[in-house]
Structure 1
């Protein structure tokens, strides 16, 4: 444990590993395109493609982390789940979107592409793939709320996001679409379509937050019919999607919500298995500690530059 803490403190970007039950390990890797060695980055991409090959019936994805573009890995956080023998079985490629708002840019975490090996489904991995990374980022931001977005046509995912985060809109429970929801949605659709593989020709219904004819920008092979879209155990989410979306045309719903204190509490109480709560909280504390300690270490080291500070000159320089 001490060795893990020391390594984590010395990293600029998050790279943490924890167990999920007796059978799985979870690794969360922040912005690997900025720091990961080429061989390690290639191995990571290969693991993602291996999972995708088992998930897709046919075809291949051509956008985001599957594009082969190193730059696309610079603004993502990969959550990779593997068996204890190292075999990858699930991942979430969460995208970090920076929207140019006034007076300051707004950071939005896009839940991104989630894939699970069909042989490993129904193994209670949703708490890892959909909420864990957002929870750790929330810890690192000293509990400042952060916006979360989701684009999907899957009723099970619509329900999961609605239950896991705060102020989610739209959804079957009504709620209120605020001005922030609307402005963020407009900026996302104006500048971030490539993140979730939606073409420029796709429409956007601002009243319902529905993207029409969404599967034309690289995500074509993810399009589902109503029959093969996984359903939620609560039928209200299934009814909501059936009413809102045209599955023949290929519609998606854009959901916006927040990770905040209320969402964090609900996530720990409802989503995280009781056996994993302590490990998740300790990992969150570790991530927050690194954010506090690392700047102090950099400040104290006068031999290296840091931000606008120049290194101290040695004797005789």
Structure 2
């Protein structure tokens, strides 16, 4: 925890390390392309490729963090799970998309590509890979709601997103499509297809929020058959995907929702293991320290300059 505190205060981006059980470590790295040197970026990319090689039976991915584009790493947040000996076993590459909205641009966190070493899939890592980063960023942004997006054909993931976040559309038997859902989805499909490997020839059904023929833009090797797609324990989500998506063609559903106070409560109550709740809240407090507490401390010291804040009077005046 002490290392987390010093790293968070010392730079403008998240670099948080915490434990997940006795034998795993989780590191959250925000926009590494903006502050890591070439050697650090190369080591991070090697860890991601190691997990991908363990996950994919054949083929390779050519989009996002796998594209070899250093600029891409400036717009991602990597959640990397490793064993205690340093062996990487899972990651989520969450992308930051900026949408042109009024009166100010809106950032949307795309849940991105998630990969887990097959031998580690029984260890309940979904709370780490899908919700943890959004939770900590929500803390750091002083509990302001954060929009999230998700593109998938996997029923287990569709259900997980619908149950973890607030105001999610689409989902079976509930939810409401608002104007923001529609406008955000239109912008994402118009300007950010490369984030999730969807080609320009893929269609978009605005009524159902379905991307038709999605696997032609670099994510080809992620396409699954209905039988191979992991199912959710709640049959509603399986039935929804079976009725909505054409798996032979390669369809995806695009979901939009929010991390807000209601979602945070659900996340802590339903997803996070009881043994990890205290450590997670403490980590969130440390992450928030730089944005909430330190500015107040600096503001109270009127005799020193802090960034754009100037002393009221110079010494001796």
**Residue 49 of structure 1 corresponds to which residue in structure 2?**
49
What displacement does 1:278 show? 0.5
Query: Matched residues in 2 for 1:2 and 1:234: separation?
Result: 40
What displacement does 1:11 show? 1.6
**1:142-174: per-residue Cα shift (whole Å, max 9, x none)?**
001011100000000000000000011101122
Show structure 1 runs of 4+ deviating over 6 A. 296-305
What displacement does 1:266 show? 0.4
**Residue 191 of structure 1 corresponds to which residue in structure 2?**
191
Cα 1:302–1:84 shift into 2, 3 Å: farther
Cα 1:271–1:248 shift into 2, 3 Å: same
**1:40-88: per-residue Cα shift (whole Å, max 9, x none)?**
1100000000000010111110011001111000010000000000000
Where 1:74 maps in the other structure, the secondary structure is helix
**Residue 177 of structure 1 corresponds to which residue in structure 2?**
177
With the length of structure 1 as denominator, give the TM-score of the two structures: 0.94
Cα 1:203–1:308 shift into 2, 3 Å: farther
Q: Mind listing any 5+ residue stretches in structure 2 that lack a counterpart?
A: 311-317
Cα 1:289–1:177 shift into 2, 3 Å: same
What displacement does 1:7 show? 3.2
Q: Mind listing any 5+ residue stretches in structure 1 that lack a counterpart?
A: 310-317
**Residue 221 of structure 2 corresponds to which residue in structure 1?**
221
With the length of structure 2 as denominator, give the TM-score of the two structures: 0.94
**Residue 21 of structure 1 corresponds to which residue in structure 2?**
21
Query: Matched residues in 2 for 1:141 and 1:90: separation?
Result: 26
**1:257-288: per-residue Cα shift (whole Å, max 9, x none)?**
10000000000000000000001101111111
Query: Matched residues in 2 for 1:21 and 1:170: separation?
Result: 34
**Residue 314 of structure 1 corresponds to which residue in structure 2?**
none
Number of residue equivalences: 313
Superposed CA RMSD in Å reads 2.2
Query: Matched residues in 2 for 1:304 and 1:48: separation?
Result: 42
**Contact persistence 1:144–1:260 (CA under 8 A):** yes
